[in-house]
Structure 1
Amino acid sequence: MPAAGDARPDAAADQAAHDVLVSLYPTMRSDLDGRLASELAGMPDGQAKQDGVAGGMAAARQLIALRSSDGSSAAAAPFVAGTGPGDYRPTPPKFPAPMYTGWGSVTPFLLDNAQQFRPAPPPSVSSATYATALNEVKSLGRDSSTTRTPDETVAGKFWSATPVWNTWNQVAQQLVADRHASLAQATGVFSALDLSLADTTIAMYDAKYHDDVWRPVTAIQLGDSARSPGIVGDPTWMPLTPTAADPSYPGAHSALSEAAATVLTAFYGSHQPVAITSAADPGVTRSFASLSDAADEAGLSRIWSGQHTRIDHQAGQKLGSEVAGRALEDLSVRQSTGG
């Protein structure tokens, strides 16, 4: 439903954000109500403000209704771990239950379906290609590695904060603030960024649980040269940071960071420098000459922290790039048609 012609866009945006967040997080209503009241109090009273509020309410109702049956609240079927070579199973030391096992079944926002850009099957865990990739992690990703550089150790811990999409939204917030973006400009940035991150997440979990590849810590601890030439097991091996509770292929940090950097580069250019902080490593700031450099390090850091192989990293980058391209195409079409 189109808003009245005189509607204040800032009032509409505040009201819509409030209503959607209350729907998602009802226990936070009191705080969200207070924030909305504070924002609206700063605007002059009048018909334009009232029309903006009404327009925001209508937009929120439409979005909530649109996503009410997207599958995000459906209970996932119990995960049954495999026992064969390459099969994912919970990881030491706490062996947590797998996460988001059904998220690949959520309806995407922009993609035709979650499988649209599903990565090609990974190399067999008995292949020489996999052995090479795993041995890289075995050397660089161990908690007590002597081949990982000090800077790689810092990066491995720095990017371990999850979810990584929070980090990229913070980057976007800083870029929007630095450029003094208008509400319309900021909306364009964040809609493209977060829709691409949302659909990358759906596509990524679809792929993870489709291929169901074990994590490096499992592969290394259970390594069997008889079945996997070139891999020598080490039951004492542990990664630099705790392993996430989901299958290895494709890499989440690689996919999400590539998606984010692709979108933000489209808005701010291929030579946009950026300084990033992380909740996982307070007081540390990582500086990069470009958004793509930051995304590259985010993905590679998961090798240095013992989480993923380079095979996972490359598949994740390709997936994130493809999903972000779809998001940017959609934004371009909406802008050209006035939608």
Structure 2
Amino acid sequence: MTKMLLSVALLCASLSFQGTGSAHASNDASQPDQVIQWNRMLLQILQTPGAQPATVHPTRSMAIVHLAIYDAVNAIRGGHAPYLVVHAPRSASPDAAAAAAAHTALLSLFPTQQSMIDAKFQDSLSQIGGGAHVRQGIRVGKKAANAILAARANDRSDSTPPVFMPQSGPGEYQLTPPNFKQPVFTNWSDVRPFAPETGDQFRPPPPPAVTSPRYTTDFDEIKSLGEINSTTRSADQTDIGRFWGAAPVQNVWNQIAQTAGVSFANSLEQNARMFALLDTSLADGVIALYDSKYAYHRWRPVTAVQAADNDGNPDTTGDPNWTPLAVTALDPSYAGAHAEISQSAATTLRDFFGTDRLDFSLTNPSLPGIVRSFQSFSEAADEAAVSRIYAGQHFRYDEDAGQALGDQVGDFVFDSILRPVAHGR
């Protein structure tokens, strides 16, 4: 593939794609296709305050929307196994089906955003045109979206998160400063996965004992590199720590996928399948991630460093005033979320394209002057993982476990669903 440098702008309120490649839309060469357009709309909605319920992880919404789009397009074009069975005439418009599937799913998931969603649907129809094939496509899209919405209606994502009761002892998760709030998504390991059988199917092995040499090594590393005023962390490492915490990491990887879809000149069908696989792997990875977090309830570095004099490890030294570069996320430490989500995404994209290689850059207007450039999906995933060490959020063993988990989930999803089928349909 021709080497290309593309930039993904990670905006705080609305997200956009910037690049040197040209997108491939069915009817308007100046626009990316309907899959990418609706992925942008999805990310914009997810950045809207209050649009997503705080107790529902956004990766669930991502998977539902893109599985609906995939089933709608695949029902018409064929070539791969459906996620759910949807029948459609070949004469139907796949562009209209994609737009209608996204529109229907988004209206159900984000009813308060109806005006924005309806406006985007009208914009899509103005690009696609009219006619019987468009009306057929709209019916197919609605049917696909309603099917996936019905299938996920009782997936336990709406259950009340139980109150977390911290246990005592070295290594046990404690509520973290500055506000000592309850941890989030305490129920999420019980959500029914999209592809695996259960949320604990890929549970990592336990974290190292607090008295082990591995723990001591990782403790010393985070204590030195993750402190807010660290003298051992380089300026570039500080940029990395801040950059990867400035936008939801699952959104970043959806934008990287937009870049990849354009760079590799994906068709509408290819983009539909790519985003469905990507966001399903993200959703299932997050379910597995929270299974690990609440199965092991391992303490965060801020607790570990401040309490180290009483952790039973003679080789660790505490600092009761230790403060991380970034405010600690509200959940247990093991395994690391940035590591798991990023590796799941990188593995899925590598499996989909058959190569790890893509040159791209990431920027964020909230951090002017910082540009992160990569030559592969895995390079970006590795940096996202290590960023949490520089930010004082995670031990290295958290990140190693997160990446191993993400790799397993990404491969499993790719190998299990939406597979090629013989005879076209």
Q: Does 2:184 align with 1:99?
A: yes
Deviation (angstroms), 1:333: 2.8
Over the matched positions of the two proteins, sequence identity in percent amounts to 44
| C-alpha contact (below 8 Å) 1:167/1:278 kept by paired residues | no
Q: Counterpart of 1:50?
A: 135
| C-alpha contact (below 8 Å) 1:157/1:280 kept by paired residues | no
Deviation (angstroms), 1:335: 4.4
Q: Counterpart of 1:24?
A: 109
Secondary structure of 1:33 counterpart: helix
Q: Does 2:347 align with 1:262?
A: yes
TM-score by length of structure 1 reads: 0.96
Deviation (angstroms), 1:169: 0.5
| C-alpha contact (below 8 Å) 1:270/1:291 kept by paired residues | yes
CA distance in structure 2 between the aligned counterparts of 1:64 and 1:219, rounded to whole angstroms: 42
For structure 1, the 5+ residue unaligned runs are none
For structure 2, the 5+ residue unaligned runs are 1-85
Q: Counterpart of 2:83?
A: none
| C-alpha contact (below 8 Å) 1:110/1:327 kept by paired residues | yes
Q: Counterpart of 2:404?
A: 318
Match of 1:330 among 392, 404, 416: 416
Q: Counterpart of 2:362?
A: 276
Deviation (angstroms), 1:260: 0.8
CA distance in structure 2 between the aligned counterparts of 1:243 and 1:86, rounded to whole angstroms: 16
For these two proteins, the number of residue pairs brought into alignment is 339
| Aligned ranges 1:189-208 → 2 under 5 Å | 189-208=274-293
Deviation (angstroms), 1:178: 2.7
CA distance in structure 1 between the aligned counterparts of 2:415 and 2:156, rounded to whole angstroms: 25
Q: Counterpart of 2:87?
A: 2
Q: Does 2:371 align with 1:285?
A: yes
CA distance in structure 2 between the aligned counterparts of 1:283 and 1:276, rounded to whole angstroms: 11
| C-alpha contact (below 8 Å) 1:204/1:255 kept by paired residues | yes
Q: Counterpart of 1:118?
A: 203
| Aligned ranges 1:77-226 → 2 under 5 Å | 77-224=162-309
CA distance in structure 2 between the aligned counterparts of 1:238 and 1:150, rounded to whole angstroms: 18
TM-score by length of structure 2 reads: 0.77
CA distance in structure 1 between the aligned counterparts of 2:300 and 2:423, rounded to whole angstroms: 45
Deviation (angstroms), 1:279: 6.0
Deviation (angstroms), 1:336: 5.3
CA distance in structure 1 between the aligned counterparts of 2:192 and 2:365, rounded to whole angstroms: 30
| C-alpha contact (below 8 Å) 2:227/2:391 kept by paired residues | yes
Q: Which amino acid aligns with 1:167?
A: V
Greater CA drift, 78-87 or 288-297: 78-87
| C-alpha contact (below 8 Å) 2:199/2:291 kept by paired residues | yes
Q: Which amino acid aligns with 1:292?
A: S
| C-alpha contact (below 8 Å) 1:241/1:305 kept by paired residues | yes
CA distance in structure 2 between the aligned counterparts of 1:198 and 1:158, rounded to whole angstroms: 23
Deviation (angstroms), 1:213: 0.3
Secondary structure of 2:215 counterpart: helix
Deviation (angstroms), 1:30: 1.4
